[in-house]
Structure 1
Amino acid sequence: MTPIPPGADVLTIGELSERSGVPSSALRFYERQGLIRSRRTTGNQRRYSRATLRQVAFIRASQNVGVPLGLIGEVLAFLPDDAAPTQEFWERASSCWRDMLNSRIKQLERMRDLFTECIGCGCLSFDQCQLINPGDKLGEQGPGPRRLVKS
């Protein structure tokens, strides 16, 4: 544990929570996951650098577009301790994730289109439905409600 220098510009967990809009429990979780770092007072209370506000904003923005915390952590590991993400940092992270996000978007669009077809026909036929039973895989297992029959 690195001690906090006297007069350091730091935030308590309550202040970080209030300013970021993220519950204290989530901040403690982020810290356990290694996404953010704190220093401890002599009384073992957490103190965060002001740069942590931008780090938390980066985490939340990344989560909101569907980036898993593991990937967010990998990118944040390149950020020096107590450094706020810069515009260049955000752009590099975005370019790293662009292909993954585009792939997810295409997958969601395919799922939406298949689901729309099912809603449109109303049958949810297990021998024809590409959403529930692609290629009639269940039909190969024999007649009856294969998903409901316990093996």
Structure 2
Amino acid sequence: MMDEANNVTLVLREAYRFAVDFGQPGAAMLLTDVKPPLGTGAGPDSEQLLVAAVANCLSSSLLFSLRKFRNEAVPMRTTADAALSRNAQGRLRVAGIEVAIQLGVPASTLRQLDRALAQFEDFCVVTQSVRAAIPVAVRVLDDSGALLTA
């Protein structure tokens, strides 16, 4: 039984290109496409959307955790990569996702950073759901590139 619904509607435009409507007033529609040779790569593909969802959720969750401890203005930049591999049947699958979140400030300027880092991943609905099937590795770095988590 679902507690909350998150509806998305896809409409085929041409070839493998879909218009994605998130059903929210004012939200932009998204155009997806698969990479050549099937599609033209005119938009993100399913794998990229999955990786973006994980990276976005982790970034938002870290921001939420930092703000809980009165760290209001914390710029960040997140990069994420997916490793693809073939299963026993030769089908391509997402084998793992690596996410790196770089904060735009020195760690020493943040209040209760250890507490925020210890809990932010638990707030991330998408990552914790995906982790049931796909390993997700997360690193957080400060503005100098010093590793704060591993």
**TM-score normalized by the length of structure 1:** 0.28
Report which of the two has the higher share of strand.
2
Structure with greater helix share of residues: 1
Larger radius of gyration: 1
